[in-house]
Amino acid sequence: IFTKPINSKDFLQCMASKFSTANVYTKESTLYSSLLLKSQKNPRWLNSTLAFKPLYIVTPSQEPEIGVTVLCSREHGLQVRVRSGGHDYEGLSYLSRAHFVLIDLVHLREIRINMEDQTLWVQSGATLGELYYNIAQRSSTYGFPAGVCPTVGVGGHISGGGLGVLTRKYGLVADHVMDARLVDVNGRVLDRKLMGEELFWAVRGGGGASFGVITAWKIKMVPVPLTVTVFTVHKTLEQGANKLVDRWQQIADKLPDDLFIRIIVQNVGGGSYGVKKTVQASFNSMFLGNVQSLISVMELIFPEMEVGAKDCKEVSWIESILYFAGHPSGTSREVLLDRDHQLYKSYFKAKSDFVNQIIPETALQQAWERQLQVDEAYMVMEPLGGMMNHIPETQLAFPHRGGNLYNIQYIVKWKVNEAEEARRHIHWVRMLHAFMSPYVSKSPRTAYFNYRDLDLGINGNNGTTSYLEARVWGTKYFKNNFERLAKAKRRIDPSNFFRDEQSIPPFG
Ligand code: FDA
């Protein structure tokens, strides 16, 4: 199917004969550029000469249109890329090294909530913000555990796992998926029953892009209290951040499941005001209860932080979503419906680790001193433990469960889209990652698939990568689940039509 020369008219004729071209945009269409640019979150990819831009962008409004797009793409030697929220760290949802059709699910955003059994169906093109908002409009006591950034798409996020503030209490969002709908390589729409349990297992944590186009998810909501408490305590190195982070490492995964405390380490000061440039650790927390109970817990378990009522704020669960998303107090919840909020767009490169033993204080201190070499860098440390310890590694394709204390994300950002700027910052974050290697998980050194990192390894251009080659990066994301994922892939897509730089090759 990949041998036919590409004739750009053939694809359009195919779409016209089988469905319609009403939602197909060519490079000549006036809307092409704005559609391509709109939902991508890492604009560093857009000047990339290493990749092609899509020959066509299709914005389907119903499932059969996706099936036809897949069939016409196959017929005419084109690959497809699927985009839901466009947050892929390496731009894989909208760029490719091969000629391709971009299926952008921006019109598939329906959310149907059933409060009787506390379930919902959400189409993949919806954002987390849209979903959070819609749930809160229906109930103050139900939510779901997922990521903190409201513009993240449901499609990519859930298929990669989905970590967030409620993870210690309830696990991943993927742990609460009850059903899914997927368009396969033959254009068929499969639900859980039709796709079978192996494929249903694979798309919960193994990423969707290797298996088909996931159009919708059925999720069981989880209870949240009417009032939750949030706080953020900032400490610079000079104020003893190091000692507190060290203490946090000892307890963060063992805290009561209702308590989530993550750490964001970033540079502060410098600039023209004569304030000394230093590193600050922000302890950013949510507790599923009121202030009084939180303070009692903190006094007992983490007195060194000296959290008092003045640091805390009682809010509703939906207000806590706005808080973690970085919106100032009083921001209307309607901001969650803004899919293109500029707050979350930047030139960046990120890498990730899982940590299963305490990192020596001196090593962390040295990592933060490195941070001062660049203007904008973050180390985000998110606690695990709690419910994550009770779910076996093989339950879903996402394997990073018990035994991990926390995960770290290293993020570097820059302001100007110039090759030299990108090169310098990417080199810096790679060096930091290399520096951390003695202190984090080993054999394999693991990483979170949703924090995509092409440095871990990439497939060959034409889908020629063998299972053994892909295993090098695959086991970092999926540990021993990688083999099972490759077998599920063989069953659903043996010709490896759905492929990209880090898709799972068929095996077995
Ligand atoms: P995008 O549309 O770019 O897709 C990502 C990948 O999934 C691509 O390979 C794409 O082809 C595939 N895909 C998307 N939709 C699909 C579908 N319907 N069917 C099949 N394949 C599909 N993560 C986390 O766990 N917790 C967090 O708090 C955050 N926070 C966060 C903040 C910011 C600013 C960013 C940029 C990212 C995060 N993430 C995160 C990471 C996020 O979960 C990850 O990038 C997701 O893959 C994004 O999903 P989108 O649909 O937005 O991405």
Q: Cβ(311)–Cβ(231) under 8 Å?
A: yes
Per-residue pLDDT at 195 exceeds 70: yes
Q: Where residue 59 falls among pLDDT bands split at 50, 70, 90? A: very high
270 touches 279 (CB < 8 A): no
| CB 150 near ligand 1, within 6 Å | no
Q: Is the CB of 264 under 6 A from ligand 1?
A: no
Q: What b/e string do you get for 121-135 counting C-beta neighbours within 10 Å, with b at 16 or more?
A: bbbbbbbbbbbbbbb
pLDDT tens for each residue of 61-76: 999 999 999 999 999 9
147 lines ligand 1 (CB under 6 A): yes
Look at residue 327 in the predicted model and tell me its pLDDT. 94
273 Cα–ligand 1 center, Å: 38
ipTM above 0.90, yes or no: yes
pLDDT (average), residues 401-428: 94
* Residue 87 Cβ contacting ligand 1 at under 6 Å: yes
> In Å, what is the CA distance from 344 to each residue of 36, 42, 279, 348, 441?
17, 9, 22, 11, 29
| Structure confidence by residue, pLDDT tens digits, 278-294 | 999 999 999 999 999 99
Ligand 1 within 6 A of CB of 109: no
pLDDT band at 38 (very low <50, low <70, confident <90, very high): confident
* pLDDT exceeds cutoff 60 at 88: yes
Is residue 386 in contact with ligand 1, taking CB distance under 6 Å? no
Mean pLDDT of 335-357: 91
Query: Does the beta carbon of 259 lie inside 6 Å of ligand 1?
Result: no
In 144-297 the beta strands, taken as DSSP E runs, fall at: 177-183, 189-190, 213-220, 222-223, 228-236, 259-270, 275-287
pTM: predicted TM-score of the whole model, two decimal places:
0.96
pLDDT digits (tens, 9 = 90+) for 116-146: 999 999 999 999 999 999 999 999 999 999 9
7-11, 323-327, 417-421: which has the minimum mean pLDDT? 7-11
Average confidence score pLDDT of the chain: 94
Distance 157 CA to ligand 1 centre (A): 4
Ligand 1 atom nearest to CA at 40: 3
Cis peptide, bond prior to residue 303, ω within 30 of zero: no
- With a 6 Å cutoff on the Cβ, whether 84 touches ligand 1 is yes
How far is residue 220 from each of residues 93, 115, 118, 120, 146, measured CA to CA in Å?
27, 10, 6, 7, 12
So what's the pLDDT on residue 419?
A: 86
pLDDT confidence bin for 341, thresholds 50/70/90: confident
pLDDT band at 196 (very low <50, low <70, confident <90, very high): very high
- Does 111 score more than 90 pLDDT? yes
Atom of ligand 1 nearest to the CA of 348: 36
For residues 305-334, average pLDDT:
96
* Beta strand segments in 458-503, E: none
Whole-number Å distance, alpha carbon 454 to ligand 1 midpoint, is: 15
**Which pLDDT belongs to residue 1?**
35
Q: Which atom of ligand 1 is nearest to the CA of 91?
A: 3
| CA dist list (Å): 424 to 269, 411, 419, 452 | 22, 13, 9, 20
Q: Probe ligand 1: pick from 39, 80, 87, max atoms within 8 Å of CB?
A: 87
Atom of ligand 1 nearest to the CA of 211: 20
Q: Among 27-41, 371-385, 442-456, whose mean pLDDT is lowest? A: 27-41
**Mean pLDDT of all residues in 426-435:** 98
